[in-house]
């Protein structure tokens, strides 16, 4: 069984098939259900089960961004979750940012839909992983309160 590859595309597709336990190329490698870009410090993706994968979409370099794109494409047959809408602190930051932008927005629906979409994806991830404890965190409760405020404000403006 071949374990050393010359390009990342072949390696990422091999990882997506889950037929082999480990392999590597110059800047990507996988072990079991986890794939890394440039080392253990950057987890590129991880299979949650046989049907779903969590992809780290917060890339820094242009090469890592290419790895993210290739992993999204190679695992399109699976249910995909992305790190960005599953990180409570990041979600809270983005929703607060949207709220600040909403104050002077000419098209408030843009910021409302961004925030509600982020919240929906977070809830989908929580339901899939059955990690109900996330709903009891301070961050989740604050996010939920902000989303409720956004939705009630939007309803009041349409009346």
- 104 and 78 housed in the same domain: no
Distance CA 96, CA 103 (A): 11
- 16 and 72 housed in the same domain: yes
Q: Pick the last residue of a domain from 82, 100, 127.
A: 82
Task: Report the pLDDT value the prediction gives residue 84, as an integer from 0 to 100.
Answer: 81
Task: Report the pLDDT value the prediction gives residue 11, as an integer from 0 to 100.
Answer: 95
Per-residue pLDDT tens for 7-27? Answer: 999 999 999 999 999 999 989
- 26 and 52 housed in the same domain: yes
- 89 and 108 housed in the same domain: yes
Spans of the chain, pLDDT less than 70: 153-159
- 30 and 93 housed in the same domain: no
- 89 and 154 housed in the same domain: yes
- 127 and 64 housed in the same domain: no
Distance CA 104, CA 102 (A): 6
- 12 and 75 housed in the same domain: yes
- 76 and 89 housed in the same domain: no
Task: Tell me the DSSP string of 34-65.
Answer: EEEESSTTSEEEEEEETTEEEE-----SHHHH
Sheet with 22-24, strands from edge to edge, namely: 22-24, 28-31, 34-37, 43-49, 52-55, 79-82
Residue 2 lies in a domain: no
* Proportion of the chain above pLDDT 70, given as a percent: 94
Task: Report the pLDDT value the prediction gives residue 80, as an integer from 0 to 100.
Answer: 95
Task: Report the pLDDT value the prediction gives residue 159, as an integer from 0 to 100.
Answer: 52
Q: Smallest Cα–Cα separation from 28: which of 46, 14, 13, 8?
A: 8
Residue 44 lies in a domain: yes
Q: Pick the last residue of a domain from 38, 55, 82.
A: 82
* Domain span at 142: 85-158
Distance CA 85, CA 83 (A): 6
Residue 145 lies in a domain: yes
Q: Pick the last residue of a domain from 38, 64, 82.
A: 82
- Domain tally, the chain: 2
Q: Which pair of tokens denotes residue 10?
A: 């072949």
Per-residue CA distances from 130 to 25, 33, 124 (Å): 35, 19, 10
Task: Report the pLDDT value the prediction gives residue 156, as an integer from 0 to 100.
Answer: 57
- 21 and 73 housed in the same domain: yes
Distance CA 94, CA 35 (A): 27
């Amino acid at each position: 069984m071949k374990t050393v590859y010359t390009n990342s595309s072949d390696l990422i597709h091999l990882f997506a098939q889950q037929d082999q336990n480990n392999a590597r190329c110059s800047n990507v490698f996988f072990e079991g259900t986890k794939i890394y870009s440039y080392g253990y410090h950057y987890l590129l993706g991880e299979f949650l089960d046989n049907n779903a994968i969590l992809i780290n979409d917060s890339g820094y370099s242009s090469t890592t961004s290419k790895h993210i794109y290739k992993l999204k494409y190679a695992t399109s047959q699976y249910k995909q979750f992305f790190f960005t809408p599953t990180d409570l602190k990041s979600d809270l930051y983005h929703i607060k940012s949207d709220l600040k932008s909403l104050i002077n927005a000419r098209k408030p629906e843009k910021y409302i839909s961004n925030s509600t979409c982020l919240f929906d994806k977070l809830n989908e991830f929580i339901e899939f992983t059955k990690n109900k404890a996330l709903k009891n965190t301070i961050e989740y409760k604050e996010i939920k309160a902000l989303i409720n405020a956004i939705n009630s404000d939007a309803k009041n403006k349409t009346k």
